[in-house]
Amino acid sequence: MISFAGGSLDPRRWRTLQNLVVVEAMSSSNDLAREIVEMYFAEEQELPPTVLIGEGQTAARGRRGRWTAEPGRGLYLTIVRRTGAGEPMSLIPIAVGRWVRDVLAEHAGLEASLKWPNDVYAGGRKLAGILAESRTQGEDTYVAVGLGLNALGTAGSVGIETATTVEQETGRAAPLAPLMQALLDRCDAELSSPGWEREVERWERVSLHRPGDRLTIRRDGEEVSGAYRGLTPEGFLRLETSAGETVCATGELARW
């Protein structure tokens, strides 16, 4: 057992995740993952699947820059591991988003939804974000999936107008350690018996988007709008535009 946020975590039940690192204060768990992968590559060593938790992060990284993750307010972590042979990289972001969403439903009774590809939303506001990064050298790819989940406090305490918290949405201030344990147990179970081929269908069922919804993607300074038609087997967004179907593998969903 290892102490975390006034409670404890038990990594012994995991089959795939092998190391658990809890640091009270760090700059960014994705940065730590990156440095560690670099060192393992340089020494041609293999890094076992590792969970890096920063109880607080002074320079947590999101897609739109850095932010401060206040200790005791949420779950801030990175899971770093080598990908399996043939693992479909493009499905990792949508899969992890759904695992987080399912844990909130089962553990906190909160039915959140997913905005493409992997933002977790509740009540029209963002509850959790994921930043996935990977590094490939020859045949080896390490992927680091960072998660920031707002758990405690009110929407106003997050400091971002469009964000919310689990406490705000459920009216309950649930302790962090059991939620973190449930999340890591779920990630371990999914990584131990992956079902990548089912991820798209499962994602579509709990997505914010319904067929026919008008979505606008911003990519490379341009906007593409169209009717939502679901995802491709790779998890890419299918939009029916006036010029026919467009498939988006990248870009920011600006309006939905």
Partner 1 sequence: MLSFKEIRELIDLVSERGLSALEIEQAGFRVRIEGVRAATNGASATAAAPAALPAPEAAPAAPPEVDPRLHVITSPIVGTFYRSPSPESESFAEVGQKVARGKILCIIESMKLMNEIESDVEGEILEVYPKNGQPVEYGEKLFAIRLAA
Residues contacting 48, CB < 8 A, separation 6+: 18, 19, 81
CB of 235 to partner 1, least distance (A): 6
Binding flag, residue 18, partner 1 (CB under 8 A): yes
Task: Tell whether residue 189 is a contact of partner 1 (CB under 8 A).
Answer: no
Contact pick of 6, 63, 156, 160 for partner 1 (by CB under 8 A): 63
Nearer to partner 1, 40 or 107 (CB): 40
- Helix, strand, coil shares of the chain, percent, nearest 5, are 30, 40, 30
CA distance 11 to 181: 8
Helices (H), the chain: 29-42, 91-108, 155-158, 166-170, 176-192, 196-205
Contacts of 221 (CB under 8 A, 6+ apart): none
What's the DSSP call for residue 133?
E
Would you count residue 148 as binding partner 1 (CB under 8 A)? no
The site string for partner 1 over 162-181 (x = CB under 8 A, - otherwise) reads: --------------------
Kindly state whether residue 243 participates in binding partner 1, applying the rule CB under 8 A: no
Among 64, 65, 124, 138, binds partner 1 (CB under 8 A): 138
Number of residues engaging partner 1 in binding (CB under 8 A) = 70
In whole angstroms, give the CA distance from residue 212 to residue 165: 29
Cβ neighbours of residue 210 closer than 8 Å, sequence gap 6 or more: 228
Q: How far is CA 68 from CA 73, 147, 158, 183, in A?
A: 11, 13, 10, 22
Is 56 a binding residue for partner 1 by CB under 8 A? The answer is: no
Q: Which of 65, 85, 171, 222 binds partner 1 (CB under 8 A)?
A: 85
Residue 84 found at the interface with partner 1 (CB under 8 A) = yes
Residue 39 in the binding site for partner 1 (CB under 8 A): yes
Site residues for partner 1 per CB under 8 A: 2-3, 11-12, 14, 16-25, 31-32, 35-36, 38-42, 45-50, 63, 81-82, 84-94, 117-118, 131-138, 141, 143, 191-197, 220, 233-236, 249-250
